[in-house]
Amino acid sequence: MNDKEIIIKKDMFAPAHIDPSKSEKISKPSLNFWQDSWLRVRKNKGAVISLIILGILIIMAFVGPMISPYTYDNQNTKHNNLPPRIQGLENVHWLPFDGTLKRRDGTEYNAYEVRKVDAYYWFGTDNLGRDLFTRTWKGTQVSLFIAFMAALVDMLIGVSYGAVSGYLGGRTDSVMQRIIEVIVGIPNLIIVVLMILILKPGIIPIIIALTITGWTSMARVVRAQVLKYKGQEFVLAAKTLGASDSSIIFKHMIPNMFGIIIINTMFSIPSAIFFEAFLSFIGLGLQEPNASLGTLVNDGFKSMIAFPYQMIIPSIMIALIMICFNLVADGLRDALDPKMRD
């Protein structure tokens, strides 16, 4: 220690100079609810990667059939059951794009050279000689369209039904909830199969069949939110100012539920894709020559042992779409939940 005497002077305790103009200055820009939610989503790496993959898949669903020299319904039986072959990758033997197949005895052979085919099929061909690259992206396009339309109709019906039921309450709410319980009590698969058998397989009948029972979960979630908001101050203030019931429901309550609605809609999309694939797999989906991911899996399953690529490629596509949508929905649920804190 230093033995020198420490002298304390009064000027050492002079008050700090405070600029009144900066005393209430906000160092960061203010963010609204959606901007703050987007920042939370960006911190979720799984959700961000899934968004990028989904964006690529959606773009390819529309661009893929255009960049292919073949159409999705063009048949060439001379080129049937050819394996994947891609320019530039055909000489890389450790990749499955060199056009080779295995015989039953385990020996490999180049199907293009044996059959003297001078063409490239990036995902191979099916048993009728149709290009699987074009059919896969066309099937992805159809499956996504069916899923998005089914989810949209579920959202419109479920939100309206649940909001009206919860807001009116009383006997009306009781009757409307009993109707939902009756619909939920009937097995979903039976209703969907009966509707498709009545309407005949097609895009519109599948969408209608998926929406018959799909809206009930959304209606219950929205009803619960309406019951929670019905007694809050902003609703009482709107009533005091003379707002109509429809205005209170659709202009005041539902905008406060956008987060819950978006999350439930995102979870319903992969469910619709899986259900459409299941219907197509059991033969109740789209009919030839139309394609969806379910019909492609069904066609590939018939020759899975000899030509496994015909089933593996659309199966990977279904798995990717479902996993990505679920991860994005999980990320949105965490981001839009007002109780979440960093």
- Band (4; pLDDT cuts 50, 70, 90): low
Question: Would you say 129 and 80 are in contact if contact means Cβ atoms under 8 Å apart?
Answer: yes
User: What range defines the domain where residue 280 resides?
Assistant: 39-76+129-336
Q: Is residue 170 situated within a structural domain?
A: yes
Are residue 193 and residue 91 in the same domain, yes or no? no
**140 and 285 part of one domain:** yes
The pLDDT assigned to 95 comes to: 74
- HSE-CB at 289 with a 13 A cutoff on CA atoms is 14
Residue 342 lies in a domain: no
How much is the pLDDT for 179? Answer: 92
Q: Which two tokens stand for residue 307?
A: 């030509």
Q: Which residues are CB-contacts of 143 (< 8 A; sequence separation ≥ 6)?
A: 273, 276, 277, 292, 293, 294, 318, 321
pLDDT band at 2 (very low <50, low <70, confident <90, very high): low
Judged against a pLDDT cut of 60, whether residue 143 lies above it is answered with yes
With a CB cutoff of 8 Å and minimum separation 6, the contacts of 11 are: none
- 23 lies in some domain: no
Does residue 249 lie in a domain region?
Answer: yes
pLDDT of residue 252: 84
Residue written as tokens 């898949």?
A: 57
Question: Are 94 and 172 members of one domain?
Answer: no
Average pLDDT (46-64) is: 91
Residue 52 has pLDDT above 90, yes or no: yes
Say if 4 falls within a structural domain: no
Q: Is residue 69 part of a domain?
A: yes
- For 108-126, the pLDDT digits (tens) are 888 888 888 888 888 888 8
pLDDT-derived band of residue 342, with 50, 70 and 90 as boundaries? very low
Cα gap 83→96, rounded to integer Å: 9
- pLDDT tier at 21, thresholds 50, 70, 90: low
Q: Return the closest-CA partner of residue 298 out of 76, 126, 60.
A: 126
Map tokens 């159809």 to a residue. 142
Q: Is residue 269 located within the same domain as residue 162?
A: yes
Most confidently predicted of 28-37, 84-93, 97-106, 154-163: 154-163
Per-residue pLDDT tens digits for 240-272: 888 888 888 888 888 888 888 888 888 888 888
Distance (Å, rounded) from C-alpha 211 to C-alpha 220? 15
- pLDDT score of 340 more than 60: no
Please say if the pLDDT value at position 341 is more than 50: no
* Any domain includes 10: no
Q: Are 68 and 183 in a shared domain?
A: yes
The total number of structural domains that make up the chain:
2
* 25 contact partners, CB below 8 Å, separation of at least 6: none
CB 324 within 8 A of CB 50: yes
Whether residue 194 sits in one domain with residue 109: no
On whether residue 306 sits in a domain, the answer given is yes
CATH number at residue 281: 1.10.3720.10
186 and 56 within one domain? yes
Domain identity same for 151 and 239: yes
pLDDT digits (tens, 9 = 90+) for 149-188: 989 998 999 999 999 999 888 899 999 999 999 888 888 7
Shared domain for 165 and 237, answered yes or no, is yes
- Binning pLDDT at 50, 70 and 90, where does residue 137 land? very high
Of 33-37, 138-142, 165-169, 325-329, the least confident: 33-37
Pick the last residue of a domain from 62, 95, 120.
Answer: 120
Q: Looking at the structure, do residues 98 and 199 belong to the same domain, yes or no?
A: no
Cβ neighbours of 199 (radius 10 Å): 13
Domain identity same for 89 and 46: no
In this structure, the answer to whether residues 143 and 262 fall within a common structural domain is yes
Average pLDDT, the chain: 83
